[in-house]
Structure formats: structure tokens, C-alpha cells
Chains A and B, each alone.
Chain A
Amino acid sequence: MTDRLGATQRARPTERARVTDRVRRADRALEYRGLPPWIWPVAAAGALLIVLPLAAMTLRVDWPGFWGLVTSEGALAALGLSLRTAVLSTLICIVLGVPMALVLARSRFPGQSLLRALVLLPLVLPPVVGGLALLYTLGRNGFIGQWLEAGGIQIVYTTTAVVLAQVFVSLPFLVLSVEGSLRVAGRGHEQIAATLGARPSRVLTHVTVPILLPALVTGAVLAFARALGEFGATLTVAGSLEGVTRTLPLQVYLVRETDPDQAVALSLVLVAVAIVIMLVAHRPTRWAGERL
């Protein structure tokens, strides 16, 4: 009696691959996936809830006039401003977020879990609330703002305020992503490097950073997406002025009633950017131990 393994061992090299493949396919067919049939309609309903509104919006687009709408003066100003501020915000998030993630993942001090909760708060805080908080800090009568204004530095109503609002809401995405990867990676490699004589800074740049690079890319991409779509905080602390503080979401908000065609066209641009970002950030990677 021959078993499956016996069959593969006795076959010729080229046939071995074909038989192994057949074995693997049979294996998968017999595999239990844990999906009872009724799961599919429920999952489909959830997917439709998200996909249908996007489809509905795509149907509303004025395709012949699309290019003209998207390249109108206000739209181009908003698009340029959005891209510039989102890129700058993402860079700031990387510079500030990686050290934060390192401290949260690798050190231990009293009150750390509370600090972590506070730092991740913007993830769940309504953006308008974040904007109000920033306003009460940096505004004319603000906590820090009053001293800045006395010194002649104005933050509110400037592009700086836009960048700050975006950093406020997107920093947690980067911190979360990098911290998670640091915890999973462990300290083994760093310890080895240290025993080989590397100083802490060298360990950081030559060992830690390469390890967390994939998570950093994912986190940065998510932070960029969040910064690009930021609305509530920007409106509250920065105001809305073309070319200065009116980012793309604010432009959509402004023209949605008076020029709905432009609003839909710009919305579609944002959706397209978001889809690309999601494809990059959540590309299918193999989870540890998963058999696909």
C-alpha cells in the first residue's frame, strides 16, 4: 500500500512537483475554513453598506466636465494645499512618532499606560473637539497662544495651524503601527548588537530602524491618509481661506451646496487617493503562522 508521501518519493523530479501540487490542492479542498454558509450574506451586507454609497457617488459625477471641475482655481488651490500640508504633517509624525513608539514599547515607567491612552486619544476623539482643544491652546487667548501672540507669532488662521491640526489627528496612527511592530520584534537583535560593542545610537540606526521600516511605511501611509482627510480640527483652529487654510475637504464642504458637481468631482479624487493608500497600507501580508 502506497501512501501520499511514498508516491512523491518514488516519482521522477519533474513529476514530483506536479504531484506535490496536487497533494496541496487536495489538502486545501479538505481543509475546514470555519465559514458556515450563512456568514456570506451577512458579510456581503456589510460590504455593500460601504461599497454602495461610493458607487452612488461615482454615478453622480459629471464625467464630461470632470477635468474642468477638478482643475478650477479653488479646487487646484485646495488640492495643492492639501498635498503640501499632508506631506509635511506625515514627516513631522515620523520624526515625533518613532521616538514615542520606542519609548512606549521599550521602556517602563509609572503612569505609562495612562500616557499611552492619552497619546492615542486623537484616534477616537471627534476631530472638532481636537480642533477646539488646539484653539484653546494656540488661540489668541490660549494657554500658550497668548504668549506667542505677545511675541508676534500667530498660529491660528495660518497654514501652520493646518499642519498642527493634521499632526494632532494622525500621529496616533504612526505611533500605534510602529509600537506594535516593535513589541512583536522583541529586543533580541538589539541585544546582540550591543554585545558586539555597538553604542545605543548606532544600535538604533543600524538595527532597530531597519526592523521597524515596514511598520513605519504602513503607519506613515495611514497618517498621510488621515492628514489628507482631516476636516473638523482644521476648520475649527485654522479657519477657511483659499490657498492658506482651505484644504480639499474644506473646499468640498464649501461648494457642496452651491456647486455640487465640483463637490462630487473633488470627493471622487479623495476617494481615489484613499483607495490607492489603502491598497499600499493594507497590502496582503502573511500573518505569523497563517496558511493561505
Chain B
Amino acid sequence: MVNTLVTPTRLAPLAATIALAVAFLAGCTTSTAPDGATPPPEARTLTVFAAASLTSAYEQLAEIFEEGHEGVTVSLNLGGSSGLVTQIQEGAPADVFASADEANMAKLVQAGLAAGEPRLFASNRLQIAVPVGSAAGVASLADLATPGIRLVICAPEVPCGAASVAVAELAGVTLIPVSEESAVTDVLGKVRSGEADAGLVYVTDVLGAAGEVEGIAFPEADAVVNHYPIVAVEGASQAELAEEFIALVLSERGQAILAEAGFGEPGA
């Protein structure tokens, strides 16, 4: 019985397809620069691990950095600070680490993974967030203790949760949450969708969700401030670029962008 797969009529189109594919791939390889021209800058990637609350500010800073450094791509890994520290400890390739509080930065330093001294670059305070047009009657921190109010806060294990607990203790208010989330973005999400009557989030989160949530400031927030430190990671593959990025964050331009996003002065 003739094997129909390898008869000439079947083989020719197959061979043609293979030949075309090879030619296509060959044509796709990067061409060498014409003689006499300077070679294109080496493509480098700077990996920045930053707290989730820094999302909008750092996206802007990343763009500025890429514009100022040809061939460099800034890869942002945004998430909960404690999760990021764990990732770096387990060997994730980070060049820069920006934390939402000093406790998590201390963990990195203790593990011997910080190249140099961490520097403070911003600060953040808590604010009460309520859905737009909410009729729940929340106007102060004390109102959050009213039974029947659906309050969502961060779990004490995460930075914003620790701050919430501290703030409540200072004010002598007993918070009765219906849910303790693992990330401040989850708290914000629940307030945004109207599933929660109130949530304790950062000032920057309220600004970032402008129009969808309303922020209510309270005096005790000034007493519990989260300081944001930044440091280059030990053993980073792009140590020089890391320092340059940190310089950008600490520069006037960087500080202006952070202030616009709602962050406070470093060390304030």
C-alpha cells in the first residue's frame, strides 16, 4: 500500500511551505548596522519592584526614565510590599525596591539584600473612602464604629491594615469591619462598587479613583504616616541604572509627580 503522505503530489506543497518559512525567518533576523554607523544602544531592562499604591506615579516616572535613557525598558512589578520582599528573598530579579512602609524595607535590609542605605522618597496617610453619593452618613472616624455600617479595611497583617489599627487605637474608636482585605486595592474596589459603605484607604487611592469615591479626611491620620523608602537591590544586574532611577524619584521632577498623585513629603 502506498503511503500517501510521501507521494510527490503531497510532498511538493510541504517542501514549499518549509522553504517559505525558513526564508521568512531568515529575513526577520535583526540586520547588522550599515558600515560606518554607530551600533544601536544595547537593550537593557530595569526591573523595579514597587508598592501597589505607587502605580500611577511610577508609571509616569518609568516613561520619563525610558525617554531619557535610550534602549532601556523599565519593567514595573507592582504589588503588596510584603509580597514583593518575599519574591526578592526567593530570588526574583529586582533592581530597585520601593516599599510602602519601613517595616517591609527593614525585612529586606535584614536579609542583606539592600545595596546601600534606603532613602525616604514619599509618605502617605489614611483617608476614609465612601461611595459617591452615599447616604450612609459617614462623616468622621467615629462614624465607622456605628453598627450597621459596612466597613471594609485592610487586614492588620498588611501595611495599610497596621496603620488602620493604629489610627483607630489613637482615636479610641472600635472598628467593626465586615471584611479585612489583603490589599488596599481590594478595599477601594469594594467601596467603588458600593458593596461597602466605607473603607480606610490611602489618600493616593482616593485621588486615583477621583469621581468614583469620596474622601473624608480625619485628624488622627496625620499621626500615623507610612513612610516610603527606596533602595537598589544587592546583586542587581543593572546597578548603575538602578541608582539613576532612584535619583529620578528623589529629583524635583520625581517629587512633583509624587505630590500630584497625593503623596506627602518624605519624612513628613
Contacts and interface: CB of A to CB of B under 8 A. Distances in A.
B106 to A, nearest CB: 13
Contact of A239 (B82, B86, B178): B178
Contact of B195 (A139, A254, A255, A260): A139
Given A135-B193, A238-B179, A260-B86, 10 more contacts: A135-B195, A141-B194, A141-B195, A156-B195, A157-B179, A239-B152, A239-B190, A240-B155, A254-B157, A256-B86
B167 to A, nearest CB: 19
A241 B153 CA distance: 10
B83 to A, nearest CB: 5
Nearest to A237: B195
Interface of A: 135, 139-141, 156-157, 238-242, 245-246, 253-260
Given A157-B178, A240-B155, A245-B179, A257 B193 contact: no
Contacts of B150: 157
Interface of B: 80, 82-83, 85-86, 150, 152, 155, 157-158, 177-182, 190, 193-195
A241 B82 contact: no
B181 A240 contact: yes
Listed from nearest, the 3 A-B pairs whose CB atoms lie closest are A239-B179, A257-B82, A157-B178
Contact of A254 (B152, B155, B177, B194): B155
Contact of B82 (A242, A253, A258): A258
Contacts of B157: 254-255, 257-259
Contacts of B194: 139-141
22 contacts: A135-B193, A135-B195, A139-B193, A141-B193, A141-B195, A156-B195, A157-B150, A157-B178, A157-B179, A239-B179, A240-B155, A242-B180, A245-B179, A246-B180, A254-B155, A254-B157, A254-B182, A256-B86, A257-B80, A257-B82, A258-B82, A260-B86
B230 to A, nearest CB: 20
A253 B177 CA distance: 19
* Main DSSP-derived SS at the A contact region: loop
Nearest to A135: B195
Given A139-B193, A139-B195, A255-B157, A239 B181 contact: yes
A232 to B, nearest CB: 12
B178 A241 contact: yes
A240 B195 contact: no
A211 B128 CA distance: 59
Nearest to A257: B82
Contacts of A256: 86
A240 B179 contact: yes
Nearest to A145: B195
Contacts of A139: 193-195
Contact of A241 (B86, B158, B179, B190): B179
Nearest to B189: A236
Nearest to A139: B195
B189 to A, nearest CB: 10
A147 to B, nearest CB: 16
A257 B195 contact: no
B180 A241 contact: yes
A291 B180 CA distance: 55
B180 A240 contact: yes
Nearest to B152: A239
B195 A241 contact: no
A156 B205 CA distance: 24
Nearest to A259: B157
A241 B177 CA distance: 8
Interface centre among B82, B155, B190, B193 (most CB of A within 10 A): B155
A140 B195 contact: yes
Nearest to B104: A257
Contacts of A140: 194-195
A173 to B, nearest CB: 28
A95 to B, nearest CB: 29
A258 B107 CA distance: 11
Contacts of A157: 150, 178-179
Contacts of A242: 180
